[in-house]
Amino acid sequence: MFKRLQTKLTVLYAGLFGVALTLIAAAVLLAITANAERQVRGELVAGGAVFDRLWAMRSSDLENDAGLMTRDFGFREAMASHDGATAQSALENLRQRSGVDVALSVTLDGQTAASDGHSLGADGAAIAQAVQTDTADVDPAGVAVIGGAPYQAIATPILSPTLMGWVVFAQKLDRREMSALEGLSSIPLHAQVLERGADGWISAGEPLSGADTRRVSRFVSDALANHAGPQQLSMSDGAAIALVKPLKTLDGAPSAVLLLRYPMAMVMAPYRLLMELLVGIGLAGMALAVAGSWALARSVTRPVSALVAAAQRLQQGEAAQVVVETGDEVGRLGESFNLMAEAIGERERRITHLAMSDAETGLPNRLALERRLATAADAQGALVAALSIDRFAMVRGVIGYELAGALVRHVAARLAVVAPGAAIGRLSSDTLGMVFRAADGAAAAEMMARAVDGPMQVGDATIDVSVTIGVADSRQPDPDRSPFVAAAIAVAQARTGHRRVAAFDPEAYGDPAANLSLMSQMMQAIEAGHIEVFYQPKFDIRRGCVGALEALVRWRHPQRGLIGPDLFIPLAEETGHIRALTDRVLAQAIADQQHLRAAKHDLDISVNISGRLLSDTDFADAALRVVGSAPGRIWFEITETAVIDNPEEALRQVERFADAGIGVSIDDYGSGLSSLAYLREIRAEELKIDKAFILDLAASRKNTLLVRSTIDLAHSLGMKVTAEGVETNEAFALLAGMGCDYAQGFLIERPLPLKDVLTFLHEDRAAARRYG
Ligand code: C2E
Ligand code: CA
Ligand code: CA
């Protein structure tokens, strides 16, 4: 209901206080009322007693006056002689003297005569009747109604000596009388005489409103029936405590009462000030409670709100601390929050540091360098260099990871000396990155390379360190790659060019991005038949004719045209797609051998088998099945390095191929790390000398020697020898002279599609030409 804790607390506290206050006020009011009522009841009872006394006093006064009259001789004479006028005058005389309101005589026959000569009518008859019936009493006394108003009356018999009649003296019970009575009470009572009328109790002297008459009448009836003491009576002018006192009547019937009333308002009047004070104190207390609980709630919620705000700041990654003002729970919560925020901040700083540094060397990492470059580039533009430690993998293999890390640190330290002010970090395991300024980047890098190169003591080992540096210029923004990537590529470019320093050359780099999806395209090309197989003839030097063909794969790319194997074979080997490609070439070669045979050209065909496939038993199984269906002999060309990498498995497969009648050629002999030991173990029938030795055979005496000894060696091991890359007649002649068995190269023919091979064979061009 209430959104804010402060409002909630305030309402709760103030509400509780209000309830308590109301309860107290109610209790006080009840106590006061009960007390006042009790007091008033007592007063009313006392008032009733006073009235009784007053009544008795008045009665005896009237009785004295009436007695005086009945003893008056003249009056008695007049009554006896029925001299009404004299009797009346005597009566009137006495009445006036004694100050009585009404005096009348009643004869034995019930005739009444008022002293002032007024006719009494029905009232007179009623009085006469009452006087005559009330014989038990010597002096009948009580309330009588005359002219509609109540009177206190007393009747005294006239004896002369026999009863001649009665004298009745009556004093009006009017407002004045009542006031006298009221005046005698210690509290301001209201007294009133009521008579029983036809419809209930009515006030003769002091008329009431219709509603009040009914209420009073019912009240009086109930009180008389229950003989009750003072009771609550509600009237139109408010509640009152009232006491009903039955009055004796002249005729003895219970037909008149005295009603003593005391309004509650007056009862409570003395307490009004107290009540007002109480209400005032209550309201002031309430206001204080509201203000107090508001302040208290504020003292609780303010630090909580501050905590909430701080937590939000913390969430947004800002520094957040709250001011702790108290030592209570909220204060302690604030302290804990501050500690927590500090710990989070500290952790964040640590994480940022970790994210920005190389764990092994503690140097800034690539991310840190890139940030550094961003700020440096903003200012003026800067150069970026990548320093790659040469032979790093090899060195690491010898000294281990830990010392290799130390080596990187040492190199960075040397660099920092020669390039003060440069930002230095680690880009990758063997490469440091650098952001620096120089007029000529390449010259500066050359100077750095010279400064860093040289022997370095790492642990127990002394290492000859040399670096290759690639430089990129961040001032020429390149959308394709970051300056660090460009610098790293420049390192590779430097190495290919056998240079120590190179600036990034975008043209030489080309667009390798196009090759990224080459493999999926190649797989589609195999499906679509875009993979073709060309054949290059191998010339049998001794027989002077084409002796065999080597199958060489080509990719006819719809957009890029004919793509040579050098572009996609290494990629296919790396990604494992070489299997599918080789299956395709082998199947095509066997099919084409069938075509050739149909054209009466029964030729062996060599297929290149990637080193990776030599350890693939599954491939070997499939290849052996397929080759079994070939019409002629199939050769597999394998490089010797493939065997050296995984000798056991590779030799086992080669063994299986040889057993199945497949000819095995050792390809590219001399290009890698040739090992004579393996040469003996491989069950090969042919050795192909790498074209690197043949291309400049005529020019290099060293190569001539190497080729000659290789031919002799192969022959001594029972192998035929093919020379690749025969481009010139000189080379051909030399090879022929050395006893080489086959020549393969552009001199004889380039790799050709099958139909061109057929034409070439058909025209017998090889035989037509004279080589050497
Ligand atoms: P390789 O097995 O050494 O094939 C001979 C390469 O030398 C061929 O290049 C051929 O065109 C080239 N060549 C032939 N005669 C001469 C010459 O007189 N002078 C010069 N400079 N080059 C000559 P190609 O066709 O581009 O093939 C390159 C390499 O791709 C091959 O070298 C071979 O290792 C690989 N290769 C080709 N086809 C396949 C294949 O189907 N499977 C596998 N695994 N590798 C293949
Ligand atoms: Ca080959
Ligand atoms: Ca070769």
Which ligand gives the minimal distance to the CA of 548?
Answer: 2
Which ligand gives the minimal distance to the CA of 636?
Answer: 2
Distance 342 CA to ligand 2 centre (A): 68
Determine contact, residues 276/269, Cβ cutoff 8 Å.
no
Angle at 573 between CA 571 and CA 575, to 5 degrees: 70
CA-nearest residue for atom 11, ligand 1, is 751
Higher pLDDT, 673 or 429: 429
pLDDT at 181: 76
Tell me the C-alpha distance between 581 and 610, whole Å: 10
Distance 750 CA to ligand 3 centre (A): 14
Ligand 1: atom nearest CA of 744 is 15
Query: Which H or E run contains 456?
Result: strand 454-458
Count of CB atoms situated within 10 Å of the CB of 655: 14
User: Residue 126: what residue type?
Assistant: A
Distance 638 CA to ligand 3 centre (A): 9
Ligand 1: atom nearest CA of 747 is 18
| CA 60 to mean position of chain CA atoms | 99
Higher pLDDT, 475 or 704: 704
* Listed residues: CB within 5 A of ion ligand 3: 667-668, 724
Count of CB atoms situated within 10 Å of the CB of 389: 23
Residue reference for tokens 């308590």: 20
pLDDT at 533: 97
pLDDT at 553: 97
> Which range has the top average pLDDT, 49-58, 282-291, 339-348, 619-628?
619-628
Distances (CA, A) of 122 to 78, 125, 465: 25, 5, 154
Ligand 1: atom nearest CA of 573 is 44
Question: CB-based burial of residue 329 (10 Å sphere; 0-12 exposed, 13-18 middle, 19+ buried)?
Answer: exposed
Tokens of 613: 């496939």
Tell me the C-alpha distance between 502 and 499, whole Å: 7
Ligand 1: atom nearest CA of 569 is 45
Distance 687 CA to ligand 3 centre (A): 10
Confidence class for position 710, pLDDT limits 50, 70, 90: very high
Which ligand gives the minimal distance to the CA of 614?
Answer: 1
CA-nearest residue for atom 25, ligand 1, is 552
Which ligand gives the minimal distance to the CA of 725?
Answer: 1
Q: Say what percent of the chain tops pLDDT 90.
A: 38
- Region 467-491: mean pLDDT is 89
Distance 666 CA to ligand 3 centre (A): 9
CA-nearest residue for atom 46, ligand 1, is 608
CA-nearest residue for atom 7, ligand 1, is 725
Among 616, 654, 615, residue whose Cα is nearest residue 635? 654
User: Which residues make Cβ contacts (< 8 Å) with residue 383, sequence separation at least 6?
Assistant: 435, 436, 437, 438, 441, 444, 471, 472, 473, 474
Q: Mind listing the pLDDT tens digit for each residue in 401-427?
A: 999 999 999 999 999 999 888 999 999
Distance 758 CA to ligand 1 centre (A): 20
Confidence class for position 770, pLDDT limits 50, 70, 90: confident
pLDDT at 265: 80
Which ligand gives the minimal distance to the CA of 535?
Answer: 1
Distance 668 CA to ligand 1 centre (A): 10
CA-nearest residue for atom 33, ligand 1, is 608
Query: What phi and psi values does residue 416 have, to the nearest 5 degrees?
Result: -60, -30
Which ligand gives the minimal distance to the CA of 580?
Answer: 1
Ligand 1: atom nearest CA of 585 is 41
Report the range of poorest mean pLDDT among 408-412, 498-502, 673-677.
673-677
Tell me the C-alpha distance between 410 and 457, whole Å: 9
Ligand 1: atom nearest CA of 610 is 44
Query: Is pLDDT at 315 greater than 70 in this prediction?
Result: yes
Confidence class for position 33, pLDDT limits 50, 70, 90: confident
Distance 344 CA to ligand 1 centre (A): 62
CA-nearest residue for atom 30, ligand 1, is 565
User: Which residues make Cβ contacts (< 8 Å) with residue 101, sequence separation at least 6?
Assistant: 151, 170, 171, 172
Determine contact, residues 37/265, Cβ cutoff 8 Å.
no
Which ligand gives the minimal distance to the CA of 669?
Answer: 3
Q: Mind listing the pLDDT tens digit for each residue in 237-275?
A: 888 889 888 888 877 777 788 888 888 887 777 788 888
Among 16, 193, 201, residue whose Cα is nearest residue 8? 16
What is the rounded (10 degree) CA torsion for 393, 394, 399, 404? Answer: -30
CA-nearest residue for atom 8, ligand 1, is 552
Which ligand gives the minimal distance to the CA of 553?
Answer: 1
Q: How many residues does the chain have?
A: 772
Determine contact, residues 320/311, Cβ cutoff 8 Å.
yes
Helix axes 578-598, 518-528, angle to 10 degrees: 30
Distance 637 CA to ligand 2 centre (A): 6
- Region 227-240: mean pLDDT is 84
pLDDT at 749: 95
Give this prediction's pTM. 0.48
Distance 604 CA to ligand 2 centre (A): 14
Query: Is pLDDT at 166 greater than 70 in this prediction?
Result: yes
Determine contact, residues 714/666, Cβ cutoff 8 Å.
no
Tell me the C-alpha distance between 235 and 214, whole Å: 10
Ligand 1: atom nearest CA of 533 is 41
Tell me the C-alpha distance between 254 and 662, whole Å: 154
Distance 657 CA to ligand 3 centre (A): 19
Distance 496 CA to ligand 1 centre (A): 21
Tokens of 548: 């065999």
CA-nearest residue for atom 45, ligand 1, is 608
**Mean pLDDT, the chain, as a whole number?**
87
CA-nearest residue for atom 19, ligand 1, is 725
> Which range has the top average pLDDT, 45-49, 222-226, 704-708?
704-708
Angle at 607 between CA 609 and CA 588, to 5 degrees: 115
Residue 647, preceding bond cis, omega within 30 degrees?
A: no
SS3 assignment for 603-654: CEEEEECCHHHHHCHHHHHHHHHHHCCCCCCEEEEEEHHHHHHCHHHHHHHH
Higher pLDDT, 670 or 597: 597
CA-nearest residue for atom 3, ligand 1, is 668
SS3 assignment for 726-770: CCCHHHHHHHHHHCCCEECCCCCCCCECHHHHHHHHHCCHHHHCC
> Which range has the top average pLDDT, 131-140, 312-321, 617-626?
617-626
Distance 592 CA to ligand 2 centre (A): 18
CA-nearest residue for atom 15, ligand 1, is 745
CA-nearest residue for atom 4, ligand 1, is 552
Distance 542 CA to ligand 2 centre (A): 21
Distance 692 CA to ligand 1 centre (A): 12
- Region 640-666: mean pLDDT is 88
Rounded to a whole number of angstroms, the CA Rg of the chain reads: 70
Of 522, 532, 552, 686, the residue with max ligand 1 atoms within 8 A of its CB, to mutate for a pocket test, comes to 552
DSSP string, 49-109: HHHHHHHHHHHHHHHHHHHHHHH-HHHHHHHHTT-HHHHHHHHHHHHHHHT-SEEEEEETT
Ligand 1: atom nearest CA of 607 is 41
Tell me the C-alpha distance between 137 and 124, whole Å: 20
Distance 200 CA to ligand 1 centre (A): 142
Which ligand gives the minimal distance to the CA of 565?
Answer: 1
Of 568, 588, 724, 749, the residue with max ligand 1 atoms within 8 A of its CB, to mutate for a pocket test, comes to 724
Query: What phi and psi values does residue 144 have, to the nearest 5 degrees?
Result: -130, 150
Of 608, 613, 638, the residue with max ligand 1 atoms within 8 A of its CB, to mutate for a pocket test, comes to 608
Q: Say what percent of the chain tops pLDDT 70.
A: 97
Identify the residues whose C-beta falls under 6 Å from ligand 1.
536, 552-553, 564-566, 569, 582, 585, 608, 610, 637, 667-668, 691, 724-727, 744-746, 751
Distance 641 CA to ligand 3 centre (A): 13
pLDDT at 139: 67
Helix axes 617-627, 578-598, angle to 10 degrees: 10
Residue reference for tokens 């913390």: 314
CA-nearest residue for atom 20, ligand 1, is 725
- Region 319-328: mean pLDDT is 84
Tokens of 272: 């009004």
